[in-house]
Amino acid sequence: MRIAFFGTSTFAVPVLALLARSRHTVTLVVTRPDAEKGRGRKIEASPVAVLAHELGLPTHKPARVNVPESIEVLRASQPDFIVVVAYGQILKEPLLSLAPRGIVNLHGSLLPHLRGAAPIARAIQRGETTTGVTLQFLKLELDAGDVIDAQAMPIRVDDTTGSLTERMAPIAAELLARNLERLESGTAPRTPQDAARVTFAPPLTKDEGRIDWSVGSAKLRDHVRAMTPWPGAHCMLCVPGKPDERIVLRKVDLAKGSGAPGTILSASNEFVVATGDGAVRIDRLLRAGKSELDAAAFLRGFRFTPGTCFS
């Protein structure tokens, strides 16, 4: 088959690599435009664009994929089939009907659970212990297409959005690989989703990373995991007599202790902070403009005074 591929993030990279190794022809790779990234605001291509360049595949980077000019680029590539993985834009008609053999999407949850842009982060945020990848036929309604196949996987207690995405990506590629022949022959199953079981996973926002110390310890830990690496679970370190400092927490775990939420309970052998129902131990953190540190390194360079807390 002649296949057009739509993808942007690291989750999509193993799927594109699989298609490039297959007997099929990748006629076009569609990804987001190059964008500024990091503190230096350096212009960077998406992970999918980087791989496409390495493989010598033609790429298209439209700001708006559904405009006539973009549709003509895709039509000119003459795809028989389209694969979409973590692309970042909603595809509409006539794009949805452009490929004779159809269009499929790989989604990072077990549909119909967690439809939407951030299924991996939302699963962690909710404290769930199982997730998976679903291969579905794409339709205009968000992640509502008939299911072709799915693969479940566990969420580890130390998984972040970043690490879980990394573990899920090759599973997505394997899921597509085992269904390509049926998709080519038109014999792939179509199982309608159960509308009664639908839940949603809206996109993360930058402000959503703010930590609420009044919640329970387990919920706070899951929040940190879900917000890593982006937007970062952040709070303010309040030291009497000094300006408040923004801190990003990268790893926390449950600990013993109690006190007013946000109060630093220990800053010697362990870095322990009170929550709404107990305490958490901070293991790794990031100061504004600094490199990520483990807690021991941070504590060696920071003197705490009475009244120091997080807000």
Q: What is the pLDDT of residues 28-87, one digit of tens each?
A: 999 999 988 766 678 999 999 999 999 999 999 999 999 999 999 999 999 999 999 999
Name every residue whose Cβ is closer than 8 Å to that of residue 111 and which is 6 or more positions away in sequence: 134, 136, 143, 147, 150, 193
For residue 176, the enclosing domain spans 2-197
Mean pLDDT of 197-203: 98
Flag the least confident range among 46-50, 227-231, 267-271.
267-271
Mean pLDDT of the chain: 96
d(Cα 16, Cα 83) in Å, to the nearest integer?
Answer: 9
The answer to whether residues 179 and 265 belong to one domain is no
The answer to whether residues 210 and 242 belong to one domain is yes
* pLDDT beyond 90 at 210: yes
The answer to whether residues 69 and 174 belong to one domain is yes
The answer to whether residues 193 and 70 belong to one domain is yes
Mean pLDDT of 94-116: 97
The answer to whether residues 189 and 234 belong to one domain is no
- The helix (run of H) or strand (run of E) holding residue 184 is helix 180-185
* pLDDT beyond 80 at 294: yes
The domain that contains 298 carries what CATH number? 3.10.25.10
- 168, 197, 226 - which closes a domain: 197
**What is the pTM (predicted TM-score) of this model?**
0.94
Predicted pLDDT at 305: 79
- 197, 216, 249 - which closes a domain: 197
The answer to whether residues 11 and 145 belong to one domain is yes
Helix (H, G, I), strand (E, B) or coil at 97: helix
Predicted pLDDT at 179: 98
Flag the least confident range among 69-78, 170-179, 290-299.
290-299
The answer to whether residues 62 and 116 belong to one domain is yes
The answer to whether residues 164 and 241 belong to one domain is no
Backbone angles phi, psi at 95, to 5 degrees: -60, -40
pLDDT over 90 for what percent of the chain?
Answer: 91
The answer to whether residues 116 and 155 belong to one domain is yes
The answer to whether residues 177 and 218 belong to one domain is no
Res. 174 pLDDT band, cuts 50 70 90: very high
Predicted pLDDT at 38: 67
d(Cα 61, Cα 238) in Å, to the nearest integer?
Answer: 44
The answer to whether residues 15 and 73 belong to one domain is yes
Predicted pLDDT at 307: 81
The answer to whether residues 173 and 245 belong to one domain is no
Predicted pLDDT at 265: 95
* 115-118 own/partner pairs: CB under 8 Å, 24+ apart: 115/142, 115/143, 115/144, 115/198, 115/199, 115/200, 115/201, 116/142, 116/143, 116/200, 116/201, 116/202, 116/203, 117/201, 117/202, 117/203, 118/201, 118/202, 118/203, 118/204
Flag the least confident range among 167-176, 234-243, 250-259, 275-284.
234-243
Domain count, the chain: 2
- 158, 180, 197 - which closes a domain: 197
Predicted pLDDT at 39: 65
The domain that contains 78 carries what CATH number? 3.40.50.170
Predicted pLDDT at 268: 86
